[in-house]
Every structure is written in C-alpha cells, then in structure tokens.
Amino acid sequence: MTGSQGSSKTQSQDSSAADSSEPEHSPAAVEWAHRRLQKKRRFRSNLVTGVVINCFFVAAWPFSGTQYFWPGWSLGVCCVLLLLDAWQTFTYGPITDKEISNECSDMETGSHINIKP
C-alpha cells in the first residue's frame, strides 16, 4: 500500500509542477521578445537623456543674455527623433508567415519591382 501511495503522490507532484511552470516559447519568439525589450529599454534611456539635456539648455537660456529662445531648436529636434524612435519601437510586431509568403510571391512574380517603363 505504501508503494502505490508513494507513486500517486509523485504523480500529483509532477502534474502540479507542470501546471505551475511557464509555457515553452519557440526560439524565434524568445529572440523577438528579447530584441523588443532591448528596444524599449533603449527608448527609455533616450527619453531620459533628451529630457536631461533639454532641461539643461532651458536652464542655461536665461543666463545667455538673449531674448531669443534658442533651446527651442534642441527641443524640436529631440522631439522629432523621440517620436521616430517611439514609432519604430512600439508599432512594429513580429514578421508573420503570411507576410513572408506574400513577399516571396511578390518576388516570384516580379511585382516587388516598382520601375515603370
């Protein structure tokens, strides 16, 4: 009796351990998630850097002796670059099999070439 109780206890422990473990992900999905996390981390770093530099410029502006708000150029360029970085970081998803199939079909038919005679 102890032998059957021990084996049933082991089976229940194995099934509960399998239920609580994380699901397996494909290597491609893990690689894509890793790259996406790196992009998000880089974006946050760029955002903080831009804010710090532009705060320094705005704080230095009153001491420059000019009435012209020259830090506006830095603010504008920084905002445009951060918007482009955010767009690339947060809008693109993984490439799907359908997209790959469509691209291969376009290449085979020559419709990927947009040169008109």
Tens-place pLDDT, residues 57-68? 999 999 999 999
**Residue numbers of the domain that contains 59:** 26-109
Asked if the model's pLDDT at residue 30 lies above 50, the reply is: yes
- Give the integer Cα–Cα distance in Å for 52 and 14: 52
| Total domains present in the chain | 1
Q: Which residues, 6 or more positions from 16, have their beta carbon under 8 angstroms from its beta carbon?
A: none
Asked if the model's pLDDT at residue 43 lies above 50, the reply is: yes
Domain assignment present for 2: no
The pLDDT assigned to 84 comes to 95
Domain assignment present for 52: yes
Domain assignment present for 45: yes
Mean pLDDT taken over the chain: 81
Model's pTM, two decimal places?
0.63
The four Cα atoms 75, 81, 82, 83 give a dihedral, to 10 degrees, of 110
Domain assignment present for 88: yes
CB 57 within 8 A of CB 71: yes
Give the DSSP per-residue string, 26-59.
-HHHHHHHHHHHHHHHHHHHHHHHHHHHHHHHHH
Name the nearest CA neighbour of 60 among 51, 70, 47.
Answer: 70
Tens digits of residue pLDDT in 4-18: 555 444 454 544 444
Domain assignment present for 93: yes
